[in-house]
Chain A
Amino acid sequence: MHVPDGFLDVPTSAATAALAAGTVAVALRQSRRELDDLTAPLAGLTACFVFAVQMMNFPVAAGTSGHLMGGALTAALVGPWTAVLCMTVVLLVQAVFFADGGLVALGTNVVLVGLVTVLVGWGLLRATTAVWSRSRTAVLAGAGLGAFLSVPAAALVFTALFAAGGVADVPVGTVAAFMTGVHGLIGLGEAAITVAVLGAVVAVRPDLVRGARHLARTGLAPRTDTGRTDTVRTDTVRTDTGRLDPTGSAR
């Protein structure tokens, strides 16, 4: 979902560009605090991952296939701030290096794909684990719910922008219903892929999943005991502040 140039007028595009620039500025600072000087290589490689996965076609249902937007999945994997950076960089590369998505609309695309999907995905993941439980099932359900709703949420924000700064006199309700319906279906595919991928990563390396890091403490105790110093070292850097625990589960 890349909005090309021409859908929104110049003031709306400028406003979303300003919002996008502000978000990215905050994300750069926050991510730097989360990852220290690991930010550049890790966010860069994660952006490569998102970029590669977006090119991959998944079978969804009844012979159709779709690809991932990836905002909710990336947020669950690397945390919201780094995810915003990764999505922004992917969009920037697609717009500047591939002419995919307009240059004037870049800010709009960063807001829709980089900010809204990440916010909705991460927010629902955190809400689910807070309200329900911190189990693996809850994490996957929260991520799936977040991925499902992130797509129609982005579509709704696009509709709102189109109503505010679009050039057509359309009945907003009709367009909103249409966009929500279509993107709700797309969201189902997004949720299925997100849960499948996240489940696979949680099964092998829960310590790498920011939304499921707490699962690593009991689950992967033997691994940290076998002296994988590189993992231990990066864990110290990435663990949430206040819960610094370099050995994961020092028993």
Chain B
Amino acid sequence: MAAVGLLGPGTGTGSGASPVHRLAAHPKLVAVLAFALVVVATPVHAAWAPAAYAGYLLLVLTAAAVARVRPARLARGLLVELPFVAFALLLPFVSRGPRVEVLGLALSADGLAVGGGILAKATLSVLAATVLAATTEPRALLRGLERLRLPPLLVQILSFMIRYADVVAGELRRMRVARESRGFRGRHLGALRVLGPAVGALFVRSFERGERVHLAMLSRGYAGRLPGGSSEAVPARQWWTALALPLGAAAALLTGALLG
């Protein structure tokens, strides 16, 4: 019932492959969140903002290089922001303010700066999060979230989701194979007559699996909490290594704010 196939982005690279892999999960989580906060806090209208973005990019790419995350993995991570690129591209057209001519189009100067800033920020944040996801195993991330005081019940729900995501996705895959081996091709709205019941069956199976899991837990003495892992303190040096990324970014932000 291991869920390493679907939710194991870190396992493909081999754990312990780099200093970043060896860091505990919760300093890494804090570091990536703090880095994203610094990136988001950068004022888009400042003249020095592009220089700050370049500095952040250098930092996060250095982190990716140290972590030996392959460029293809980083590029794949960036695919998730595609729908919002459209929104960012719209901004120069709809924003108010003085217009500038670009390739014969009258675009809002403000909208261009903001659209570009949003794209840069989203990209930087996704890159940092991709390094985290690629270098940390799901189980370690879960422990990290627990160490960061996420409510225990939420951690339990998360752990069940991670444990069974592969099982449920596997059921969906087998149903798709069964459909397609019988000649099904979902091309038009009428396919919902087949896909609706398939997804409905998936829900019933998932729900009933949850009930069986619960009964199995009760029979093994479950009384509301799961046995926790070890919670030994993380050495200060690990924290400093992980926090080098956001501290570097904060230094870049401060430099820009003071000099710009």
Which chain A residues have a beta carbon within 8 Å of chain B's beta carbons? 1-10, 13, 24-25, 28, 32, 37-49, 51-53, 55-56, 58-61, 63, 65, 77, 85-86, 88-90, 92-93, 95-104, 167-171, 174-175, 178, 192-193, 195-201, 203-205, 208, 230, 234
Give the residue name and chain of the B residue nearest to A101 (CB): B80
Residues in A with CB closer than 8 Å to B223 are: 37
Count chain B CB atoms within 10 A of each CB in A25, A38, A168, A196 and give the residue with the most: A168
Count chain B CB atoms within 10 A of each CB in A40, A198, A203 and give the residue with the most: A40
CB < 8 Å neighbour of A168 from B91, B197, B209: B91
Residues in A with CB closer than 8 Å to B165 are: 48, 51-52, 93
B252 to chain A, nearest CB (A): 16
Residues in B with CB closer than 8 Å to A204 are: 200-201, 204
CB of B240 closer than 8 Å to a CB of A: no
Residues in B with CB closer than 8 Å to A60 are: 189
CB of B111 closer than 8 Å to a CB of A: yes
Count chain B CB atoms within 10 A of each CB in A167, A169, A201 and give the residue with the most: A167
Q: What's the dominant secondary structure at chain B's contact region?
A: helix
A207 to chain B, nearest CB (A): 10
A59 touches B187 (CB 8 A): yes
B7 touches A58 (CB 8 A): no
Given contacts A98-B80, A208-B204, are A6 and B164 in contact (CB under 8 A)? no
Which chain B residues have a beta carbon within 8 Å of chain A's beta carbons? 7, 9, 29, 32-33, 36-37, 39-41, 44-45, 77, 80-81, 83-84, 87, 90-91, 94-97, 110-111, 114-115, 117-122, 124-126, 129-130, 132-133, 138, 141, 145, 151, 153-154, 156-165, 167-169, 171-172, 186-189, 191-193, 195-197, 199-204, 206-207, 209-211, 213-215, 217, 222-224
A sample of 7 more A-B contacts (CB under 8 A), given A95-B129, A170-B96, is A5-B121, A46-B206, A47-B160, A48-B161, A196-B195, A199-B196, A208-B204
Residues in B with CB closer than 8 Å to A169 are: 95-97, 110
B7 touches A6 (CB 8 A): no
Given contacts A4-B125, A48-B168, A85-B157, are A99 and B211 in contact (CB under 8 A)? no
**22 residue pairs from A and B, CB less than 8 Å apart:** A2-B80, A5-B40, A5-B126, A6-B117, A38-B210, A41-B217, A42-B214, A44-B157, A45-B168, A45-B206, A51-B165, A52-B202, A56-B172, A58-B192, A59-B186, A59-B189, A97-B133, A103-B36, A103-B129, A167-B118, A197-B203, A201-B203
B210 touches A42 (CB 8 A): yes
A196 touches B214 (CB 8 A): no
Give CA–CA (A39, B200) in the complex, Å.
Answer: 21
Residues in B with CB closer than 8 Å to A24 are: 151, 154
Give CA–CA (A196, B196) in the complex, Å.
Answer: 5
Give CA–CA (A169, B94) in the complex, Å.
Answer: 9
CB < 8 Å neighbour of A96 from B39, B141, B154, B196: B141
Count chain A CB atoms within 10 A of each CB in B44, B97, B164, B215 and give the residue with the most: B164
Count chain A CB atoms within 10 A of each CB in B126, B130, B145 and give the residue with the most: B126
B164 touches A44 (CB 8 A): yes
Give CA–CA (A48, B32) in the complex, Å.
Answer: 25
Given contacts A38-B214, A97-B9, A99-B129, are A4 and B122 in contact (CB under 8 A)? yes
A89 touches B111 (CB 8 A): no
B160 touches A100 (CB 8 A): no
A59 touches B115 (CB 8 A): no
Residues in B with CB closer than 8 Å to A96 are: 29, 129, 132-133, 141, 145
CB < 8 Å neighbour of A59 from B7, B119, B191, B199: B191
Residues in A with CB closer than 8 Å to B171 are: 52
Give CA–CA (A55, B80) in the complex, Å.
Answer: 13
